[in-house]
Amino acid sequence: MLQLDTMTMMVVLAAVSFAKLLIFYLDSYRRTRTDVARWWCASVACFCAASVCYTIGQAEGVSWLMSVGSGVMAVAAGCMWIGARRMRGRPALVWPLFVVGALTTVVSLAGRSVGDTAPGQAAWLTAMGVAIAAAAVELRVRHSSQWRDVRSFAIMAALAAGYFLARAVGVLLLGPRDPLFLSLFGNGVSFLVAILLLVSATSSMTALNNAQRTAQLREQATLDGLTGLLNRTRFIEQAEALLRRSRDSNTVCSVVMADLDRFKAINDEFGHITGDAVLQAFGDACRMTVRTSDLVGRYGGEEFIMLLPSSTASEAVRVADRINVVLAETGPLRGTGRMATASFGIADTSGGCAGLTDLIARADRALYAAKDQGRNRTMIGDGQAA
């Protein structure tokens, strides 16, 4: 039989939850500020607030404060569930938190008013058990590479949910003062389970947030910050690999060089904010036009580059023309009355297994031919009109 002093466990829960809240806020939430981290931070804060209510209520004999603590503890478990939902990109359902928290508090107050704590205990234990079980299910069905970061918490949540639900049944069948119930499900044991759950949850979420932060930094290192397209270095790396696979499979690839028309004049006359808007609009037009297998990158300044696998030069022309159509559909640049356009130069591997450097050079010559002939047009190879 495990006997734990309830007051001591309340104080420990308050201290641990406050320390975990401080560490999680400073180490994880402030660095990422993700919606997931926000809900987990709210959960730890509610655990801290509930434990303070329990401690003061027990020490001072304020029964209504302990009832409020029960409601806040149920909300804490609900925040865990919402945090798990947000990890899967599912919407946050906030209204159940208020409903469950209010109902738990009311049931507990009603029971204590007649000297019976069983209904209130059953209410908050059931709310805790269901919410934590739901969080465990949300985490388990992810089946993603991030599962290892939350596995320990998902297991602990499942065990804690089983314990809280069993305790809810026990308090209704045996009563809160039954010796068997106190031995198996005493308040001290319940607070110990809550402490273990809290430690497991914050440790797992800290690890997950750090992993997501690392992934974000890795992504930022490969993407152009303004357009969201591949940066030049990453494009060259991926294009070289894609071109090698094209050679092995004996398929044709096309390289497209694109340059925004009169971009310097736009920057000089209307400012860099307008120039940035043109760059972003072109990046959006590319994403709306190319296939998922195509590579698109910002080559430098107002110049962009694309590698289209399994595409001949004539097929690449249709892609370039479509990009200009999508760009035109965005309408005149705000405050300028001008339409943004681009010129394109295209080269493909149909004449032999050209290297990436040679393809870029040929496409670049075609691009300059397009600009020399009036801009807002596409040229193929060494000056061949599209």
pLDDT, one tens digit per residue, over 266-320 is 888 888 888 888 899 899 999 999 998 899 999 988 999 999 999 999 999 999 9
pLDDT for 150 equals: 66
Q: Which residues of the chain have pLDDT under 70?
A: 1-6, 140-150, 208-221, 333-337, 353-354, 382-386
Task: Report the run of H or E that residue 98 belongs to, with start and end.
Answer: helix 95-113
Domain ranges of the chain: 6-220, 232-385
pLDDT for 119 equals: 82
Angle between helices 272-289 and 263-270 in degrees, nearest 10: 140
Task: Report the run of H or E that residue 378 belongs to, with start and end.
Answer: strand 378-380
The one-letter amino acid code at 326 reads V
pTM: 0.55
Q: Whole-angstrom Cα distance, residue 69 to residue 141? A: 31
The arrangement of secondary structure in 6-220, i.e. its CATH architecture, is Up-down Bundle (1.20)
Q: Whole-angstrom Cα distance, residue 291 to residue 286? A: 9
Strand 253-260 relative to strand 384-385, pairing:
unpaired
Q: How far from the centroid of its chain's Cα atoms is residue 315's Cα?
A: 36
Residue 138 near residue 88 (C-beta atoms within 8 A): yes
Helix ranges (DSSP H) in 221-343: 232-249, 263-270, 272-289, 313-329
Considering the four listed CATH numbers 3.40.640.10, 3.40.50.2300, 3.30.70.270, 3.40.190.80, the one that applies to the domain covering 232-385 is 3.30.70.270
pLDDT for 112 equals: 83
